[in-house]
Structure 1
Amino acid sequence: MYEIIKSGGILMWPIIISSIISVAIVIERYWTLRVANVRPKDQLPQVWRWIKNQQLDSEKIKNLRQSSLFGSVLAAGLQASRYGRDAMKDAIQEAGDHAAHEMERFLSTLGTIAAISPLLGLLGTVLGMVDVFSDIMTQGTGNTSILAGGISKALITTAAGLTVAIPSVVFHRALVRKVDELTVLMEQDSIKLVDAIHSDGAAQKK
């Protein structure tokens, strides 16, 4: 393995570093974006029980905000609920944007790695081919084994770059989709809370 890396030239090292960063991001994001971590399924029913039983206070809202990203969205909406439906929706929208930004952390880096890895590989191949043509100028074309070996070495970086780029593209798209799905679910649940609180309030006024 070391010989392959060595024969690929200096550009193999940024490709290897990119692969390590890519793997680390994928593992970290999949661990962080677990549904149970971002949007616990029992959180909304718990909030609604607090409201029904008149147990909702500043301490519970504080704990709710710190419990998960979805909890922070609900907490923002609950704090603004006294100012009316529109204010509550605006607060939820703002908190939801912040939550989405948190979920998208490092995804731009993963997308950059997916884009530049094949370019690094191509650059390594071009530099390798320059060396091959330099050998042709000094030794001629008689020694085919040297030329074949030089070309194969030049192509190593392209293969390495594609090996990093292809999984990075796949996981980047999968994670972006996961973030979108979680964002939609949080938005739908938040709107349910808005409708429940203000429809209930309207019914009590009547």
Structure 2
Amino acid sequence: MTEKTKEVKAKADRLVELTAQKERVQAEMEEIKAWFENLAVNDLKDTKKKTVEYWGSSNARVVVGNSETVKPVSMAMVKRLLNTVYPDFVTEKTSYSLAAPAKRLFTIAYLGAYTEGTLDDTIQAITKDEKLQRTLRKKLKGKYEKDTESLMKSAGLDAKEASDWAYLVSEVVNWEWMLQVLKAAEWSGTPQEAVDIINAAVIVDESLKVTVGAEEKS
């Protein structure tokens, strides 16, 4: 057997061995990722957080992020809903491309991520202190995590109370924004009729992505 033949055999054997190892490692990685995804589903439940991180020993970090994908089913129904503001919300190409505001609108409606009400009424329910109310009107923007921090710092709420109120604020802000869009679109029906059209016109897929890396804790 020549040296070349020996080398070819050795390389072929090693490549097959490494491929088998890769498949085993990949299978184990997918199993562990699925475990973290299931864990994250529970940890993200009843919050407005989009990501959650888990730390191992030293600087090992796993981040699980939740995302939504909006898929148009009937663009004719979308066009009917958005009416005069349709060109601002949808980019027309050979295939339709939804702009960020349209994705937000459809995601809010499809997932039911809204609560009827106003931000002012919600703030008044949080506190009767008029000075604090004015402060909260400036700080609360419907951003769940930032609003939770603001409510803890400015209103002196504990973490659970702040989280619950921030959740409601997020949904109320979504509701008010949705009404503003429908008004701009000169929508003549009810908000619920608009939601029904959206639910028939699009599909919103929620997905989780696991990111693995090494990073120093802050």
Verify same fold: TM over 0.5: no
Larger-gyration structure (1/2)? 1
- Name the structure with the higher helix share: 1
| Normalised TM-score (structure 2) | 0.24
- Name the structure with the higher strand share: 2
| Normalised TM-score (structure 1) | 0.25
